[in-house]
Chain A
Amino acid sequence: MKTNSVLEKVFASGAFAVTSECGPPRGAMPEIVREKAEHLRGYVDAVNVTDNQTAMVRMSSFAASVILKQIGLNPVLQMVTRDRNRIAMQSDLIGAYSHDINTVLCLSGDHPFFGDHAMAANVYDLDSVQLIQTVKEMRDNGSLQGGAKVDNLPRMFIGAAANPFADPFELRVARLAKKINAGVDFIQTQCIYNLDKFEKWMEGIRERGLHKKVSIMAGVTPMKSEGMAKYMKNKVPGMDVPDEIIKRMGGVPKDKQAQEGIDISIESIQRLKAIEGVSGIHLMAIEWEQKVPEIIERAGLYPRPDVA
């Protein structure tokens, strides 16, 4: 084992892994973090804590991860390179590891343009691939990015994102290979609605044996309504929502659409589970954490393995 990460242990056990997400609130409200996270207890192996997602100021990922740790859950510290330089990010990694946070997801982050601080400076001292390298150097060589050897550097299980639906498609397998070259251990993908295209991407992954070098978790987000499906299709960058999904959501009465969205996500999980090279799912139930238990149970992923 490279780390103490529960997620690493689940992958090592051969079990199909499950992670979910907890978005910190826009204010000092630790009770909201606890409330959201409690819905997930026992149903997931680890919980991603987003880092100022959509470039909106929120409680820091680090602080919310500590709250999760305090109530006995396993946070995945999301870290975007948008807001902090390499000094601040390494400092936060050391801080997080001092609180036994041992799993990190390295991201570039949504551009500030999309949030409510579009006037902010864009840092991007590192990109996500360089952050993966930095975290790996800390763990495997005991050195900081600047080269100094230091005792007790964090031993993090390293994650990153992949979006099989962004353009150019032909480059998307090579991009994953690049993250593997940088030292990534696991991947969580963008929300998958176009399963045919995802399967095509996975074919490319398998052809090169990349699924044996990295654990791939397929991203799933249940839709709450036809309106949300349309919004995701038209407004969210890098999202591929086929028209059939929108039609199916629109084909049931408004008060039944949420249930339809959940049914679609469970069907997707069943199909994703069967794809060779997919090692888990990342269930992003956005502001809908209370539905995670139902989805996980009905998808046959409950109970979770005891690897501790």
Chain B
Amino acid sequence: MWTAQLPALVIAGPPAAAPVAARRPGASWSWAFAALASAASFAIAMLLALAATEVTAISYAVGSWPPPFGIELRITGFSALLMLIITGASTIALVGGKASLDSDIAPARRHYFYAAWLLAVGGLVGIVASGDAFNIFVFMEVSSLATYILIAAGGNPRALPAVFKYLVMGTIGATFYLIGIGLIYLMTGTLNLVDMETRIHDVTDLKPIYAAVGFVTLGLVLKAGVFPLHVWLPNAYAWSPHVVTAFIAACSTKVSLYVLLRFDFMVFQGSLGGHDLQFAGFLMPLAVLGILVASAVAMTEGHLKRMLAYSSIAQIGYIVLGASLMSVSGLTAGIVHMFNHALAKGTMFLAIAFIATRLTALRLDDIAGIGRRMPWTLGAFLVAAMSLIGLPGTAGFISKWYLVLAALQSGAVGALLVAVVLVSSLMAVYYIWRVVEAAWSSTPGAEAAGAREVPLPMLAVLWTAALASIWFGLQPGLPLALSRSAATYLLGQLQ
């Protein structure tokens, strides 16, 4: 049946479309082609997500070489959820962000920009689809290199030192991961993740495996921007083209977290005694510190995009916190938060991209009074911000609710964790309020006074994304089902 080829199509599609997008310098043409390719991937990801709710995993042998000898693509509920996030964020950012991209990217470079965009999408989808450790490394580097290009593609010179830092730290992270899988290969002779898990049981000298756990975990924590290894993140988000921020803030760090959870829970958990306690003991303090410190920095940050970047670091903390609770409800909370946060933060950065088509600077002083001039754009921003804070009725509430429930089940430390979640939610209220206060200030800046609302088609895309945060708050069925199947799948090794 043709649907059997979907896992291969979803990976091969965007990279195959990239050279076509790069062929014709006509800017609108390559934009339309990239948006079309991205939407097609989104459709395939939907089909795969529906198929993945029915089985544990869809296995696809690349080139008909049976795993573990050939490369295996392995689509689980977890990977399907991430695929939806990646292709959905890419499609919404491309469709809604054309005006912003046209003003940010020089016309002569646009067709290459869209080619790099498609490569980034293909690489990210490849990471979550692949069941082969080395294959994941290659896709990781494909997506990272393309992302560096996207970040540096705008006209802002400050993006260049930021992307250099990201490149150096990203490469160190990926190389650590490569050392880790090298050590595992040395001891087990396999690169297939499922095969790896069973073969580690037979390893007698576990020292290289323990070293591998360290390298893999640290490398991926670095790439995921978990506090305190987040230093590359704020500037890379802040100075990149605005639509690129909307795309990468929604998915790139979450894909690294996916690999982290996949490795630590599927490969190491079942085969190394006490690994769960070490994993939780290492990551839980980092998550709590990340939530509190990054939220505090966001409260004092004066630049709109940097503020939201620090808020993203805090949200990564929530995801890691959920995972480090080591229970089905905790993991479900963490994984569904990947989806809900991608939706909220993607919408907020897209709204900022719209504001940036009217204003040249994005400090809080510069956006004074913009809410009166662009009420619909700022309205969508606020709807998404409510989901970020976690007000009842929004998607963000679902993930925080599950996180609090999971924390309360985890014994003595639980009450403290609930306090952390509540305090950081209040901090989020504060930094979002600063934006509201500035945006609806009665003394508008010179630029804001002359700003007009963006055209209706752009608003339609933005509001679709914003209302999705409400929709998935009231009807959390699909993301919650995928997250729960992911959580039980990951924890299956423990029970």
**Are chains A and B native binding partners rather than an unrelated pairing?**
no
